[in-house]
Amino acid sequence: MRAAIMATQIKAAPKVGMVSLGCPKALVDSERILTKLRADGYGLSPDYAGADVVLVNTCGFLDSAKEESLEAIGEAIAENGRVIVTGCMGNEADVIRARFPGVLAITGAHQYEDVVSAVHAAAPPARGAFVDLVPEGGLKLTPRHYSYLKISEGCNHSCAFCIIPSLRGKLASRRIDAVLREAEKLVSAGTKELLVISQDTSAYGVDTRHESREWKGRDVRAHMTDLARELGGLRTSEGVAPWVRLHYVYPYPHVDDVIPLMAEGLLTPYLDIPFQHAAPNVLKAMKRPANEAKVLERIRNWRSIAPDIAIRSSFVIGFPGETEADFEYLLEWLDEAQLDRVGAFRFEPVEGAQANALPNPVPEEVKEERFQRIMAKTAAISAAKLAAKVGRDLPVIIDEIGEPDEDGSIGATGRSQADAPEIDGHVYLRDVAATVKEGDIVSVAIEDADEHDLFGVVAK
């Protein structure tokens, strides 16, 4: 008589859907939440219909962002009905509940344990030890070949237009050994580009007095320059250095120390610096440093050390009290600075921001006219800088491979070292070999350019 074979019944895992809004820092929060939920046995649903519960990670920085978050919550409720809200707008739970009383739970920014507990309560996990639930490096919402590396939370600045400190608190730096361990795992799992993010990357470690931790048998300080140098020493499984890109870098004096690392090839020659404005009167009203002349001198010095450095920044247009003379000062400053990538934002009053109480608001029609002028100015600068790259061979990371056309030709979309994902330009390639894959870094002969993008072919 044959022994009966008993089959183990594995309960179907509940599934979670995620809507992630806002900046890359919020995207990292979403990845951490999903990684923990996956480790707890949850499946992931790409649509509302297949989800047992939907998470909406909100943005609350500007009123327009809050409205987008509320619309996303409303859509999730309409399509699914079982919704948990987290993120920056979680601090305004009364506003959310007044509009959507059926929301299951609301948690604030980076409250990982609270949001996971809320999911457990709404859709209890199915436990089982038969499946490897979490891939090496955790779950990602970005392509496999690039990853955001968050090094701190919060901010110690008190800029008049910003409410980030009230949303995310004061600066809280992660231990440098933990940051480097995460970076190493990401690179070993296939990351070819690390994007270092925080609210203030230059201030990393200030709150911990730049404490040292042991890493690979030596002490390493929690300091931006030390972190950059260590990240520059990482290698992929093929022995290739990943691109390391620094974002949200305030121009403190020690930023000068990372430029030689770019010249040595340890760092991607790219700096994302939130200048916000250039006119001294506006910077003072914003409660930001007003040493714009020295900044121009430093930019010239950076370019003398690392000629290929790309500098991106963002500017607030129409801040209360901004005069036509202030705006013209900014345009002249941009002529001198010749920034590679520029974003501009019309000033919006944000509930809780000090700027709301400032006199002399700029009329909306004036904001719009100035916005159009700065975008025209920066587009012309960008077009000239990109045109100067025609005829050069540049390293390009491949983000997407197209389908063959009727002639069998394959196109691809990538980025140069001057282009961060989502916010900067692209490099469009023609006649790509079938062997080229997403995440490959190839040398591209640049054939043409427009105001924002480059066009070329893989160099022979």
Give the CB-side neighbour count of residue 422, counting CA atoms within 13 A.
11
User: Do the Cβ atoms of 200 and 156 come closer than 8 Å?
Assistant: yes
Identify the bridge partners of residue 53 per DSSP, sorted by sequence position: 16
Among residues 128, 73, 132, the alpha carbon closest in space to that of 103 is found at 73
Burial of 91 (0-12, 13-18, 19+ CB in 10 A): buried
HEC string of 166-191 equals: HHHCCCEECCHHHHHHHHHHHHHCCC
Q: What residues are designated binding site?
A: 23, 59, 88, 155, 159, 162
CA–CA distance from 347 to each of 55, 160, 162, 275, 327 (Å)? 30, 12, 11, 15, 13
**Cβ–Cβ < 8 Å for 56, 19:** yes
Sequence-ordered list of residues with C-beta below 8 angstroms from that of 436, at least 6 positions apart, any chain: 398, 401, 410, 412, 442, 458
Burial environment of residue 144 by CB neighbours within 10 A (0 to 12, 13 to 18, 19 or more): middle
Known binding-site residue numbers for [4Fe-4S] cluster: 23, 59, 88, 155, 159, 162
Q: How many angstroms separate the CA atoms of 396 and 390, rounded?
A: 14
* Host H or E run for residue 439: none
